[in-house]
Amino acid sequence: MTLKIEKVSDGRKTVVRLSGRLRSEHLDELKTQIDGDQSRIALDLDGVTLVDVEVIRFLNACEESGVDLLNCWPYIREWMLREQH
């Protein structure tokens, strides 16, 4: 399965829903979806089934810059914490 990106905005908040395998080769497209949006951004990771280390680093950077991570699977959260050290 490839990655599906769905963007929903109400003008104040934009939620980018992700489904499938999120890999480093998808990061440029994901950055394009996030960059330039004037509303608050949230990434909904509920449908994500697989990530790699570059994605984990990207998610850490997103969170540090104020992007909300919604429905983050425990294994992804734990990996994110390990990468911070």
Half-sphere exposure of 2 (CA within 13 A, CB side): 4
Q: Domains in the chain, start-ordered, CATH in brackets?
A: 4-83 (3.30.750.24)
Distance CA 30, CA 48 (A): 13
77: its two tokens? 């959260």
Enter the tokens of residue 60: 């850490």
**pTM assigned to the model:** 0.91
Please choose, from the candidates 40, 42, 44, 41, the residue with its C-alpha nearest in 3D space to the C-alpha of residue 20. Answer: 44
pLDDT for 36-85, tens place per residue? Answer: 777 899 999 999 999 999 999 999 999 999 999 999 999 999 999 999 87
Burial class (CB in 10 A: 0-12, 13-18, 19+), 2: exposed
